[in-house]
Amino acid sequence: MGSGGVVLLILLGALGWALIGVLGRIAGWRAGRPAKVDWLAGLLALPRRYLVNVHEVVARDRYASTMHVMAAGGLVLALLLVVLVHGFGIASPWLAWPLLLACVLTLLGAERVLRRRADRPPRLSGGRWNRFGWAIGGFALGLAWFTLPATGVMADPGLLHPVSLAFAALLAWSAFELADGLAHGPMRHALAGALNLVTHPRAPRFSADRPVAAIHPIDLDAPRLGVETPQDFAWNRLVMADACVACGRCEEQCPAFAAGQPLDPKFVIRAISMAQGADHVDDRHYAGRRWPGLERRVGEGGAARPLVADGGLIPPAALWACTTCRACVEACPMMIEHVDAIIDLRRFQTLELGAVPGKAPAALAELAAADNIHGRAAARRMDAFVDLDLPLLREVESTDLLLWLGDGAFDPRGQRAMRAFVQVARHAGLELAVLGEEELDTGDLARRLGDEAQFQRLAEANIATLARYRFRRIVTTDPHVLNSLRNDYPAMGGHYEVVHHTAVLLELAEEGRLKFQPGEGQAALTYHDPCYLGRWNGEFEAPRRLLDLLGPGRVEMARHGRTARCCGGGGGAPLTDIPGPRRIPDMRMADAKATRAGTVVVACPNCAVMLDGVTGDYPAVTEVAELVLARLAVPAERVAA
């Protein structure tokens, strides 16, 4: 037997070993709940999703992207060629040389992997991941040695030659390390990652305009609401958890993690992945960073055991610290949907256990009896606007633009912004009407706190109300309302054109219906992206263009646009109020201060409250509409109230 034969033997052995592991993993996935998957469309879209969507995220870290192109590209090429050269024994130099080059490319990639590991950033997991680079390098090196004879560089020294034996051992170890990893280790990200791209539950996120992120509704008559154990997840969500490459980019972006609250989006996903593969497992072997503040905690779980519990793999506080800002999802190169998983887990906690912490249960109880979380009578929503004489849709029956007031109508900060918008809109000659006391909470907060029952009740009621009237568009100052009506209502049967007031103001300004005068001695502005306008709805440009029309001097915070840091006000986080050593809004105001801007411009009533509440020497907080009103080229008192 030539020494090349040993390659075939090792590879076949490793392949068999990998197959056994992968079949076990597949059995674990199949234990999940059923999901509708369009296989054909998914498979056809795979190359594009990988080469465009995944690459776009990976390439934000140039080092990692080059490393991955070399190591993964080299490895895939080598594996294809190895089938021809060693599998079919075609010892042509036309194949052997490319194989050798692929091995060298892989080796260079592995060198970059190991170089990064030498000074491992804390976001990267250790443990088996530390061996990964050695395994790839060893595999490439071993393969290269046994390919040399085929290139004609040297004669086959035979398998019994001591050097050959050493390389055979190296190849065997690395091949089995990689093969075993396909089910239980780092290589799993390649298999599950590709499958995740095919069976992804949010296919629209891959389209060119990357629209809308709706949250999937659940059947409230199901025997178990929400997700308790890994097996309660849809099977493609289990695949998704297995796709995690443990890069920790989500961790870097997570505002709750940065605030020291016990949430680590990477650990949430790793915990689901860890639990689904075993009947019983604990997280002592977990090699990434642990829940902030709970570093010594040991969690236990399994495929059919509760994920979230005091002694579970995910501590309840982790679940409730999430602001649903989607920064983790945006940063994930594997297209994992952390927020969906958290909402699914919250649903079980809320609907089945009633285990919502902090002031959230009281808010949900008021929502149940009064249709707003403040427990106010429906008519009180109009209290702050009586002097504006806003026409009620009930009386006028049709309107071009329906103003949805939202929860900000109960809060002085939100009222100020809304009044400013109404004044500016009227100044530009825009007709607005409101629902008044017929408007109920959209149910957005309830949905994000896991209370799907209340969301569905409120959505149905609002949709029934809206069906009675004619209007062309709904405008709102609240991105949470916008997201709810635009993305969450269609699944409940309500299809509307919903615009944010920044978009309406931009339209008016660009049509020349608003004239601005520069403010006196104006300091620079910086714009804070609301998560639900930006990341959730992809509207980054309109507010910026509007601000640029107001005058020069807009600066950007280091984290803006898709990577903007949350204000801390989303997902019911102010109600669940999970303690941490730092506060998210404080950190955001520090971001703003670092730009030396005099004013932070916000476009969301929640952001306004959160950022305005930060005390100390920080920039002023202004809502976009307030700023537009102040910069109108007419004295403010002459703007029709």
Q: Is 369 in the site for other proteins (CB under 8 A)?
A: yes
- Minimum CB distance to other proteins smaller for 106 or for 442: 442
Contact with other proteins (CB under 8 A): which of 351, 433, 475, 525? Answer: 351
Helix H or strand E encompassing 432: strand 432-434
Among the listed ranges 373-381, 483-491, 523-531, 600-608, the one in contact with other proteins (CB under 8 A) is 373-381
Contact with other proteins (CB under 8 A): which of 44, 377, 523, 558? Answer: 377
Among the listed ranges 158-166, 276-284, 447-455, 504-512, the one in contact with other proteins (CB under 8 A) is 447-455
Residue 638: CB atoms within 10 Å: 9
Q: How far is the CB of 369 from other proteins (least distance, A)?
A: 4
Query: SS3 sequence, 88-146?
Result: CCCCCHHHHHHHHHHHHHHHHHHHHHHHHHHCCCCCCCCCHHHHHHHHHHHHHHHHHHH
- Minimum CB distance to other proteins smaller for 106 or for 349: 349
Q: Is 352 in the site for other proteins (CB under 8 A)?
A: yes
Residues 467-486 that bind other proteins (CB under 8 A): none
Among the listed ranges 53-61, 81-89, 254-262, 371-379, the one in contact with other proteins (CB under 8 A) is 371-379
Question: What character string, x for contact with other proteins (CB under 8 A) and - otherwise, covers 331-350?
Answer: -------------------x
Cβ pair 116, 247 in contact under 8 A = no
Contact with other proteins (CB under 8 A): which of 79, 214, 368, 549? Answer: 368
Residues 128-157 that bind other proteins (CB under 8 A): none
Q: Is 199 in the site for other proteins (CB under 8 A)?
A: no
What's the rounded Cα separation, in Å, for the pair 475 and 22? 50
What's the rounded Cα separation, in Å, for the pair 589 and 602? 12
Q: Identify residue 28 by its one-letter amino acid code.
A: G
Residues 6+ apart with CB under 8 A from 252: 123, 331
Q: How far is the CB of 382 from other proteins (least distance, A)?
A: 15
Q: How far is the CB of 373 from other proteins (least distance, A)?
A: 13
Contact with other proteins (CB under 8 A): which of 24, 93, 311, 354? Answer: 354
- Minimum CB distance to other proteins smaller for 125 or for 350: 350
Q: How far is the CB of 453 from other proteins (least distance, A)?
A: 4
Q: Is 453 in the site for other proteins (CB under 8 A)?
A: yes
What's the rounded Cα separation, in Å, for the pair 536 and 112? 35
Q: Is 461 in the site for other proteins (CB under 8 A)?
A: no
Contact with other proteins (CB under 8 A): which of 375, 391, 553, 561? Answer: 375
Nearest to 7 by CA among 139, 194, 152, 160: 139
Q: How far is the CB of 348 from other proteins (least distance, A)?
A: 9
DSSP string over 563-625: GPPP-S-STTHHHH----SS-HHHHHHHHHHHTT-SEEEE-SHHHHHHHHT--SS--EEEEHH
Among the listed ranges 11-19, 302-310, 352-360, 620-628, the one in contact with other proteins (CB under 8 A) is 352-360
Q: Identify residue 183 by its one-letter amino acid code.
A: A
Contact with other proteins (CB under 8 A): which of 451, 478, 488, 586? Answer: 451
Question: What character string, x for contact with other proteins (CB under 8 A) and - otherwise, covers 202-221?
Answer: ------------------x-
Q: Is 388 in the site for other proteins (CB under 8 A)?
A: no
Residues 6+ apart with CB under 8 A from 507: none
Which tokens go with 439?
């408007």
* Sign of the C-alpha dihedral computed for residues 268, 270, 272 and 274 taken in this order: negative
- Minimum CB distance to other proteins smaller for 149 or for 450: 450
- Can you name the residues that pair with 471 across neighbouring β-strands? 399
* Sign of the C-alpha dihedral computed for residues 217, 220, 221 and 223 taken in this order: positive
- Minimum CB distance to other proteins smaller for 358 or for 553: 358
Q: How far is the CB of 351 from other proteins (least distance, A)?
A: 5
Cβ pair 315, 262 in contact under 8 A = yes
Q: How many residues bind other proteins (CB under 8 A)?
A: 23
Q: Identify residue 464 by its one-letter amino acid code.
A: A
Q: Is 225 in the site for other proteins (CB under 8 A)?
A: yes
Cβ pair 622, 632 in contact under 8 A = no
Q: Is 304 in the site for other proteins (CB under 8 A)?
A: no
- Minimum CB distance to other proteins smaller for 205 or for 376: 376
* Sign of the C-alpha dihedral computed for residues 406, 526, 416 and 471 taken in this order: negative
Contact with other proteins (CB under 8 A): which of 72, 294, 355, 630? Answer: 355
Contact with other proteins (CB under 8 A): which of 33, 116, 376, 394? Answer: 376
Q: Is 84 in the site for other proteins (CB under 8 A)?
A: no
Q: How far is the CB of 452 from other proteins (least distance, A)?
A: 8
Q: Identify residue 34 by its one-letter amino acid code.
A: P
What's the rounded Cα separation, in Å, for the pair 114 and 140? 14
What's the rounded Cα separation, in Å, for the pair 561 and 86? 50
Q: Is 510 in the site for other proteins (CB under 8 A)?
A: no
Site for other proteins, rule CB under 8 A:
220, 225, 350-355, 361, 364-365, 368-371, 375-378, 380, 451, 453-454
